[in-house]
Structure 1
Amino acid sequence: MNKSQAQNLLDLTGWTVGSGTSGIFTMNGQASENVREWGEGPNGNRVILWKAQPDGTSNADGGWNTQAFPIIHTNMYRFSVWLRKTNSNSGASYFGCRNVSTLSSVVTSNPYFWQGDLPQLNKWYLLVGYIHGSGDTSIINYGGLYDGLSGAKVADAVDYKFEDGTTTSVHRAYLFNDPNLNDRQYFYAPRVDLVNGNEPSLSELLGLQNLMSDQAYFAGKVGIKTANPGDYDLAVNGKIRSKEVKVEAANWPDYVFQNGYKSMPLPELKKFIATNKHLPEIPSAKEVELKGVSLGEMNKLLVKKIEELTLMFIDQYEQSKKQSEQINELKSEIANLKEN
């Protein structure tokens, strides 16, 4: 179990393929309206999703109330869940908790961090809500609705606070009042974190592949110290230190050693270098400064030049060997002439 999952106060062992109530998650609606199945998660990975599918006969159309879990009322907690709605905006989505009051200390019996229609159909959003500690006098709402692709906050959420003596809370997320039998609402990665500086950051929640995995997957481009990765999947505006970098490359230049391959003649090579101040096919210093170097392509070119140089050495060796043989023959002939 990784740190991210270990921090989660919700027990996800019941988050398995099936239908209806499971583990700490008590279904909202009928078992047929609550299905857990494999699907594509927020970051394009294959995960188990909780699917709400209305049956058209009840107000409760899928989702859950968790069993009550223990809290310390003086602490702050962060609730979160991923949601995606498909087909239509019929009904409404709900994300809430229990056993809290408003930030102005008014007890509320039906608290929701957020409710309504998601901004866009068929798109993942991360819903985040905060419950402040009982002694917190802040009236600032920190929660919100976050775009799963850009990470931008697209809507505000309502924060709550615990009253003195509160010992438990509940995580709840629903689809309600949806008569459209073709509608689907998907839920993923419900969690509750103690806000103490050790909880996963929002950026981690938005970027993690799977809260029950030790790997992170990013479906889009990643920029480190740069907001514009350009055409690159990973762009780093700074130094990278690594013990090894493996680059996959096609068309490796073994063809240089094939029969019939012809290198540029030395006189032409000399003329090219005198004019361009760099080897053929190798980028100039100015070009490298402006555009950088593709490691895979550069390694291929360097190997090609080494192989061409090797052929030149072999050719020079053969010529030198032949010249040595000719010199030895001439020496022998001269010696014979002197003897005669």
Structure 2
Amino acid sequence: MGEHAAELGSGLDALRSVTDRVQANIEKVIEGKPEVARTALVVLLAEGHLLIEDVPGVGKTMLSKALARSIDLTVRRIQFTPDLLPSDVTGVSIFNQDTRQFEFRPGGIFANIVIGDEINRASPKTQSAMLECMEERQVTVDNQTFALDSPFMVIATQNPLEMEGTYALPEAQRDRFLARVSMGYPVMAAEIAMLSARTTTSPLEELEPVTDAAEIRKLISVVSGVHVSSAVQRYAVALTTATRNSPELRLGASPRATLHLVRAARASAAMAGRDFVVPDDVQVLAPTVLAHRLLPATRTGREPAEILAGILESVPVPE
């Protein structure tokens, strides 16, 4: 038991060191948004996928690229447009005249980090091509299944639904994103600093990787060793159950959402240097992990995030 605790302790030290370096790298590009950078790292370590929703021009794609460039692994970008086909995402079998056999040509999803830019500008059919990839980390084409490398993370950006030319993401796909974040506009000081820093070059071009895929796989293993007590598990289940029973919501959080919430809490605790999860980890992450999965029952004007805030206040927090 002592050896295991010592091993977990050294793993947590390494995790904090790596995540601090990656976050510092991201903040060279995205100034004044440390909480967004931290959430991206929590999602990566929890083996989830991240949805970044906001208006154009606030740095959604820059955040994705900064995280990808900070880690030495394979990165692919898919620009989602109305004419994008499912085979562009997953890949396609092409007949080779020389060998007289079909050959599989991998699509854009075959990478460690996949940046799906403006995902809600593609048709629902193309968006649905991502479902198997995101949940099962594999791709099936013409009855052949191809495994995706680990780590695997989709970072998708989307514009608000009020923007022209957007499609709503299917509920099944929204549920596969572990967390949703909003960039928001920078504060005035950060925007002025950006004007000074980006007169000639982009800080993105100067980023160097500070870790690699092998180390990230080790850190994911460290996160899985973080202890979650039965009281914290019951609290997470109580929160998601309350969303299902709320008369203000016609779609509550799924069991997958509960699993994602606990995984994210584990990653957050590990980044804080703890080998155990406390209720605060769950409570702080709940809006980011749950709100995008909820659908209001009526058009009362109350957003799912507001309804969820009320639920968080009503569900008792374990001591």
Q: Which has the higher strand share?
A: 1
TM-score by length of 2: 0.23
Q: Which has the higher helix share?
A: 2
Larger radius of gyration: 1
TM-score by length of 1: 0.22
Higher RCO (CA 8 Å, separation ≥ 6 residues): 2
